[in-house]
Chains A and B, each alone.
Chain A
Amino acid sequence: MARVVSIHSFRGGTGKSNITANLAALLALRGERVGVIDTDIQSPGIHILFGMDEEHIDKTLNDYLWGQCSIEDTAYDVGERLGRNALDAVGGAIYLIPSSLRAGEITRILREGYDVGTLNEGFRDLIRELNLDYLLIDTHPGLNEETLLSIAISDCLVIVLRPDQQDFQGTAVTVDVARRLDVPQILLVVNKALSSYDLDALRNQVESTYECPVAAVLPLSEEVAALQSADLAVIRLPDHPFSKGVKAVVQAIEAAEQE
């Protein structure tokens, strides 16, 4: 049975998409068949991390939601980015379902909305058609109906937050809502922590505030920031504290599966 993992943050700019892409890459390199779906329809961006440019994107999640194609028509094999040989050796695979980057299509979906039920069916079909072990959902910030659906169907919710007051407040709301939906596993990831922080103290404080495990505290890093927009840290900088932190998140997700 496939596991659904939603990656959410209350506000934008937390590095959510970056973490999602790196998590997906690590899972695929461990032999899992992984789908990554970009439901951040208002401001899509995860495709860049997998080296896809706009011109090579034909069908998108938007087309599926408008009933213009099937969900598997919108899935792109992005395994090249991870090294085809490395993936084949372990039997892993990685697919990306991007959102439309066309301004007109973004406005249209915001104006007209779409059927949340269709999105749910799409998730299910995708898992079946691509024979996925993991479906990672890069959610839209905030808690609109589509995001609530993604959280509700998730076996694991990863909440990404920065160490600042607004994110602390928003995370409290998300944790409460996820508990009401009985999400089996909730993990917190603190991103963009200044290197001068006492990271252990920060971890303890966040864990006791939300009564929720912190899977990783990821440092704010110029090196990673330089890559972020165009490449995967876990591939380019595997020994960097950021990449090691992402690995810890993968281990926390896998540990729950084995229980």
Chain B
Amino acid sequence: MKDFAALIRNLLSDEAILRDLPAVRERFEDGETIFERGDPGEDLYIVEAGQVRIFTVDEEGRELTLNTLAPGEVFGELALLDSRPRSASAVAVGPTVLRRIDRGHLLSLIRSSPELAASLYDLLAQRTRHMTDYIERLGHWARLVAEGRYDEAMQGLQAEGEISDRALAAVADAVRTMVQAVREREEQLRREVAQLRIEIDEVKRRKSVAEITDTEYFRDLARRARELRKRM
């Protein structure tokens, strides 16, 4: 399916609709924060110039980039559906111009247009199905990894990176990195365990020892050893 942001953009590309929305333009410097995860989410943005990077931060403080948006693309779309806090952070990449659309205005527009409302329900349904599919596939990859079928998991993840939307591709990439790391650690461990096992062939050992000790030379040496040491 096409990703949600693209469908919203199509929806909003209708000049008639855009004309009726109040246009608030905002400018951001390179690296300037647009919003942070946890901020109140009230508005939807369309990129007019520059780029926007969407990212989350994991528990260890590492940034995971979910998406990088170019002019014409839309973000903050989840705020359209509810007014919950932001689920990710957004930062400008290079000097950036955004068009901000107020949630209240957009909702009143949807209320007055049954056609627009139907498109929106469609979008929501598609997004939900897509996420459900994706979670099922994640479960499948996790099973493959658990069974040690790393090649199959990597192939599936590779294909995902090529066809999926960018946010999901980023997740696929993170999972690929994880599979690779798990696999390397396991191979390292297997090498160590293989080398650390000490196996003595006792039959061979006794035979080798007997070949040496059952000689006249050795018997003589063993008899004299203590005395030889003393005389050193």
* Residues of chain A whose beta carbon lies under 8 Å from any beta carbon of chain B: 1-2, 4, 120, 123-124, 127, 135, 143, 145, 148-149, 152-155, 163-165, 168-169, 172-173, 176-177, 180-184, 194, 196-198, 201-202, 205-206, 209
B62 at interface by CB-CB < 8 Å: no
B222 at interface by CB-CB < 8 Å: yes
In the bound complex, do residue A177 and residue B209 qualify as a contact, i.e. CB atoms below 8 Å apart? yes
What's the Cα separation between A176 and B204 when bound, in Å? 13
From B199, B204, B213, B231, A180 is in contact (CB under 8 Å) with B213
In the bound complex, do residue B229 and residue A154 qualify as a contact, i.e. CB atoms below 8 Å apart? yes
Residues in chain B near residue A124, CB distance under 8 A: 231-232
In the bound complex, do residue B232 and residue A123 qualify as a contact, i.e. CB atoms below 8 Å apart? yes
In the bound complex, do residue A196 and residue B222 qualify as a contact, i.e. CB atoms below 8 Å apart? no
What's the Cα separation between A1 and B204 when bound, in Å? 39
Residues in chain B near residue A1, CB distance under 8 A: 232
In the bound complex, do residue B192 and residue A196 qualify as a contact, i.e. CB atoms below 8 Å apart? yes
Residues in chain A near residue B225, CB distance under 8 A: 152-153, 181-183
In the bound complex, do residue B228 and residue A169 qualify as a contact, i.e. CB atoms below 8 Å apart? no
Interface of B is mostly: helix
User: B74: shortest Cβ distance to chain A, in Å?
Assistant: 50
B205 at interface by CB-CB < 8 Å: yes
Q: From residue 184 to 223 of chain B, which have CB atoms closer than 8 A to chain A?
A: 188, 192, 195-196, 198-201, 204-205, 208-209, 212-213, 217-218, 221-222
B19 at interface by CB-CB < 8 Å: no
User: B190: shortest Cβ distance to chain A, in Å?
Assistant: 12
What's the Cα separation between A1 and B231 when bound, in Å? 10
User: B226: shortest Cβ distance to chain A, in Å?
Assistant: 6
Total CB contacts across the A-B interface at under 8 A: 81
Of residues A172, A198, A206, which shows the largest number of chain B Cβ atoms within 10 Å of its Cβ?
Answer: A172
In the bound complex, do residue B217 and residue A168 qualify as a contact, i.e. CB atoms below 8 Å apart? no
What's the Cα separation between A45 and B226 when bound, in Å? 31
Residues in chain B near residue A164, CB distance under 8 A: 195
Of residues B200, B201, B204, B229, which shows the largest number of chain A Cβ atoms within 10 Å of its Cβ?
Answer: B229
From B196, B205, B213, B228, A152 is in contact (CB under 8 Å) with B228
Residues in chain A near residue B209, CB distance under 8 A: 173, 176-177, 180
In the bound complex, do residue A143 and residue B205 qualify as a contact, i.e. CB atoms below 8 Å apart? no
Residues in chain A near residue B208, CB distance under 8 A: 173
What's the Cα separation between A84 and B141 when bound, in Å? 67
Residue of B nearest to A209 (CB): B198
What's the Cα separation between A173 and B198 when bound, in Å? 14
Residue of B nearest to A128 (CB): B232
Q: A153-B232, A177-B209 are in contact. Are A169 and B226 (CB under 8 A)?
A: no
User: A35: shortest Cβ distance to chain B, in Å?
Assistant: 12
Residues in chain B near residue A201, CB distance under 8 A: 196
What's the Cα separation between A1 and B212 when bound, in Å? 30
Q: A168-B199, A197-B192 are in contact. Are A4 and B232 (CB under 8 A)?
A: yes
Apart from A154-B229, A173-B212, A206-B198, 18 more pairs, CB < 8 Å: A1-B232, A4-B232, A123-B232, A148-B212, A152-B225, A152-B229, A153-B225, A153-B232, A155-B229, A169-B201, A173-B208, A180-B209, A180-B213, A180-B222, A181-B225, A194-B195, A198-B196, A205-B198
